[in-house]
Amino acid sequence: MSDLRIPAAGVTPQQRPAEAGGAGDKGGFETAMKEAIEKVGGIQGEVENAINALVSGGDVTQAVIAMEKADMSFQMMVEVRNRLLNAYEEIMRMQV
């Protein structure tokens, strides 16, 4: 009986949102996490460019700002990961 689906009144199957993690899911959680990780990687790439520029006589403040920005974004990513793990552990402790 678990495969029995009752469509919502007045909503055709094409109008319903895609299943979680489905191929049609454009704004899902997985996509958001991948984009966030790519942004952190991009920021770390900016640090490498700033350090290379510093070695060749570039601006010290730009390198320091880029390093701090990368550090803060990495710390934020780690904190989000920690919160997600805590939420997962809390859900796993729930009794059904």
**What pLDDT does residue 21 have?**
46
Q: Which sequence spans correspond to the domains of the chain? A: 29-93
Q: Give the pair of three-digit tokens for residue 89.
A: 């552990």
Q: How many DSSP H helices and E strands does the chain contain?
A: 2, 0
Cα dist from 86 to 5, 39, 77, 79, whole Å: 33, 23, 14, 10
DSSP state of 16: S
- pTM exceeding the 0.75 threshold for the entire prediction: no
- Taking only the tens place, the pLDDT of each residue in 36-68 is 899 999 999 999 999 999 999 888 999 999 999
